Amino acid sequence: MWSQWSAVEAAFFDLDKTIIAKSGPLALGRSFFREGMISRSLLAKAVYAQLMFQLMGADEIKMERVRTEAARLTAGWEVDKIKRVVNEVLEDVISPLIYAEALELIHDHHAAGRLVCIVSSSPEEIVEPLARLLRIDHFIASRPHIENGKYTGDLDFYAYGPNKPTAMKELAAEQGIDLDRSFAYTDSITDLPMLETVGMPVVVNPDRELRKFAVERDWRIESFRNPVSLRSRFNELRRPEVTWEASARVAVGVVGLVTVGYWLSKRTTRT
């Protein structure tokens, strides 16, 4: 959203486990636990469920229920109560989790004259500052609804499943992108519609179902193993400024990640 490139090719990147090594609910949960926003039991469940999420993934039905549970947890939260945790979220938690391999690919695509876009179901208040820090050209993300400085628990747009290719096609029409000559990178079978939207699909650290699918279709499979700190990798980049309202929404969005762990832990114990 900061570049006016004339490129007709693009590279679309999912965020979690593709650019970022993990969602980090344990580290984030500790911050919110200290603030009194989540209970000790929720924190413990998030730790366990993060392992289950990485091993087993989540289908569309599970993710929709996760979204609903996250909405219940965050609805009514006020900006001034959570703004103080944002610096930890952006720099101490997210920044050290960036894959070096993803940074190299972003650099290579830019060097080849392609637009680079993050496509994530995370709230745009998380994705936007990270995209700016990484010098990403565009981003597609979920948009939470806010009224009177509080979160309603609703979303104006949910960047998940079939909504991702819809947004990608809209961006392609706006920017003149040739999707048949473009790339997409993701780890989850739930992003299969995103991969099928481009001519150059690449799976990164895929879950079992996506790996099987990629092998059958002879898609490229990449393994990213080396997270690095942006602070050390990009010392010349200035940290993006974040407004109080945007800071609050970043924190709320991250609580949604913790809630993913909470809900998955309940589902895992029932199956």
Q: In this predicted structure, what is the pLDDT of residue 18?
A: 94
Q: In this predicted structure, what is the pLDDT of residue 5?
A: 47
Is the pLDDT at 237 greater than 50? The verdict is no
For 116-159, the pLDDT digits (tens) are 999 998 877 778 778 888 899 999 998 877 788 777 878 889 99
Q: Is 218 a catalytic residue?
A: no
Choosing from 14, 137, 187, 191, the catalytic residue is 14
Q: For the chain, list the domains and their CATH numbers.
A: 10-270 (3.40.50.1000)
Among 153-167, 190-204, 206-220, name the one with the lowest average pLDDT. 153-167
pLDDT over 70, % of the chain: 56
Q: What does the DSSP assignment read for the chain?
A: -------S-EEEE-SBTTTBS---HHHHHHHHHHTTSS-HHHHHHHHHHHHHHHHH---HHHHHHHHHHHHHHHTT-BHHHHGGGHHIIIIIIIGGGEEHHHHHHHHHHHHTT-EEEEEEEEEHHHHHHHHHHTT-SEEEEEEEEEETTEEEEEEEE---TTHHHHHHHHHHHHHT--GGG-EEEES-GGGHHHHTTSSEEEEES--HHHHHHHHHHT-EEE----EE-HHHH-TTSPPPP--HHHHHHHHHHHHHHHHHHHHHHHHHHH-
Choosing from 16, 137, 187, 207, the catalytic residue is 16
> For the whole model, what pTM was predicted?
0.74
Q: Is 207 a catalytic residue?
A: no
* Average pLDDT of the residues in 219-234: 83
